A and B are shown apart, each in its own frame.
Chain A
């Protein structure tokens, strides 16, 4: 694991204020102030028993999906539903809307949900800047928001530290590069990004790049790095983007590849296969998330490792945080998932097939 100091340092170099703030505050978290949240979180993580005292009973909350239907989101929403019921909440009191990767749709949803006057909003939306309007609306109405994966100004944040997970993935890749004989054995490093997601999501691959730069120096890494826009996190667009990338580097053979999520990675790998340039030994592939798609990729030997976000555990943070609000307590401002590197070797420890 990386030292927090290292991360803070690198972040300040590359990242916007929001995130710097994010990370520096992580270090200063005072655990005692959030005892209510911590207790419930520990309970949720340890057992599948109902929460003590049914903290959610009779309350209403709202939840939005960044893009309903994709495996990662299904995992998250599934866990939220599960924990909500364990906390004593009624199914009909959990309002749902799908933001469809679309800021305009998100704005409408924010209003529709606000009209239903939930007590807490869990907000999962891809663009952090649009979120300021949402924050303002809910702030005026006095309804607290919990942001998932993408920050909302002034709201507690739950999810991954994008830079950190990317850096972890980078280090994992570097380990493999070294095993293989050093950076000279690599022709290209491909970052399949999602600029549409905004700066914060960009960190999910820029952290990866930073890890390489820290290890080998920018002079070595910059010329071999390719950044591509893989679209809105869907396989088909990523497939097209990857085909383009491959077209532009007909002579390259050995690659390091990472992407924002596993849908995207699925598209990338199939593009490589379709182009007839797939050889597991020549590709070091590290993914982000390890959702259902990611698990399958690891088990099929397509990817070498993934940074596990454990989307199926998001509810174990979110619902305790919600419960804190519902009971007049506060959740901590940052609730990071504990990420692990998942590999084909250790995957069975985390997930049974």
Chain B
């Protein structure tokens, strides 16, 4: 269905429609099937599953994950990697909380802007090291993962609680009591970024760089600049995620966001973003996000013991990605 391998003939209109999001091949079809299967299973075992309240909680719970995966999708399509997102978010979060605590005269709106700036700045550091010195992104961000987290602990002894109702409402309010604001943010972010990828030079050049950096240089693309920009964008979304996270938790702590990187990685790779770059899109990331969120939620409703959930989550990820690998086997089979 989503196999857009159109060697002959014209594209059907619906293929074109999907094609906006999926110019490169992704496991969208298997993901959708997986999701439907999950919904059927969960719904048949739990009467609560298909309630509005439940969807509300699914969507609100993956807000932070969603915003982070929005940023890293950009980085990974460009052939990069960002393991530091959890730390970047944690550091940004605690800095915002500290600013609100110590400089309470600063309007909350300004603090939000500061959060975004801090996030971008941390992303810029990653970007500069990766693009200018040319260090492998995994290594760089493995380093900054530790460094940013370490810096966040400078403020560990402060008990930074957030007393701004506005700040609190960012991650906790619902439109008409049903649709979480966070879902709206995610949708807006994903649609904008999908359009950016599809219809801007920046977006297309990102795919080129991810596909083959040398070639991108030959094609006259300003590779360094775009790479740096992609990390800044990832940092920006870490900043936004930090706002939502501290809002949902009502405090800033240095350890917030630890271990998030692997969760986010799971989402985007499940969504078809490849680790080497050059592939992926927001439709895939979005469906994967819903799947990951729904698994967590469904396992709770099915009353699966907490430790077993970890096993099942990991197992489902392996299963989904295996099905996709088998589907694409012809391409990869050789050795």
Contacts and interface: CB of A to CB of B under 8 A. Distances in A.
Direct A–B contact in the complex, CB atoms closer than 8 angstroms: yes
Contacts of A329: none
Contacts of A254: none
B301 A247 contact: yes
Interface string B150-170: 000100110101000000100
Given A247-B54, A266-B249, A274 B157 contact: no
Contact of A69 (B156, B296, B301): B156
B249 A236 contact: yes
A250 B51 contact: yes
Given A70-B156, A71-B159, A248-B301, A240 B250 contact: no
18 contacts: A70-B156, A71-B157, A234-B253, A235-B249, A236-B253, A239-B248, A245-B300, A247-B48, A247-B297, A248-B300, A250-B51, A266-B251, A267-B249, A270-B249, A270-B250, A273-B168, A276-B172, A293-B251
Interface string A238-263: 01110111111010000000000001
Contacts of B61: 240, 243
A292 interface: yes
B143 interface: no
Contacts of A273: 168, 172, 250
Contacts of A244: 296-297, 300
B255 A236 contact: yes
A343 B60 CA distance: 33
Contacts of B306: 228-229, 241
Contacts of A296: 159, 161
Contacts of B314: none
Interface residues of A, number: 34
B315 interface: no
Contact of A250 (B48, B248, B258): B48
A74 interface: yes
B251 A235 contact: yes
B127 interface: no
B207 interface: no
Nearest to A292: B159
A74 B300 CA distance: 35
Contacts of A267: 249
Given A74-B156, A74-B157, A248-B300, A235 B253 contact: yes
A156 interface: no
B254 interface: yes
Given A247-B301, A250-B48, 13 more contacts: A69-B153, A69-B255, A74-B157, A234-B255, A236-B249, A236-B253, A243-B57, A248-B303, A250-B51, A250-B53, A263-B253, A267-B249, A274-B60
Interface in B1-56: 48, 51, 53-54
A68 B156 contact: yes
A275 interface: yes
Nearest to B49: A247
A263 B252 CA distance: 11
Interface of A: 68-71, 74, 228-229, 234-236, 239-241, 243-248, 250, 263, 266-267, 269-271, 273-276, 292-293, 296, 300
A301 to B, nearest CB: 13
Contacts of B54: 247, 250
The majority secondary structure among interface residues of chain A is: helix
B78 interface: no
Given A69-B156, A71-B159, A246 B57 contact: yes
Interface residues of B, number: 35
B177 interface: yes
A69 B157 contact: yes
Contacts of B57: 243, 246-247, 275
A69 B60 CA distance: 29
A270 B157 contact: no
A296 to B, nearest CB: 5
A228 B161 CA distance: 25
A82 to B, nearest CB: 14
A267 to B, nearest CB: 6
Nearest to B51: A250
Nearest to B53: A250
A244 B53 CA distance: 13
Interface string B187-198: 000000000000
Contacts of A300: 161
Nearest to A239: B249
A266 B250 contact: yes
A235 B153 contact: no
B248 A274 contact: yes
B254 A69 contact: yes
Interface in B266-318: 296-297, 300-301, 303, 306-307
Contacts of A246: 57
For the complex of A and B, the 8 pairs showing the least CB-CB separation, nearest first, are A69-B156, A292-B159, A244-B300, A270-B250, A274-B172, A270-B249, A74-B157, A229-B306
A71 B245 CA distance: 20
Interface centre among A69, A247, A270 (most CB of B within 10 A): A247
Nearest to B251: A266
B81 interface: no
A271 to B, nearest CB: 8
A300 B171 CA distance: 20
Most buried by A among B60, B153, B157: B157
B202 interface: no
Find the residue from B54, B161, B250 having the highest chain A CB count within 10 A. B250
Nearest to B301: A248
Contacts of A274: 60, 171-172, 248
Contacts of A241: 306
Contacts of A270: 248-251
B256 interface: yes
A344 B53 CA distance: 33
B185 interface: no
A236 B86 CA distance: 12
Contact of B177 (A234, A276, A293): A276
Nearest to A273: B172
A187 to B, nearest CB: 15
Nearest to B307: A229
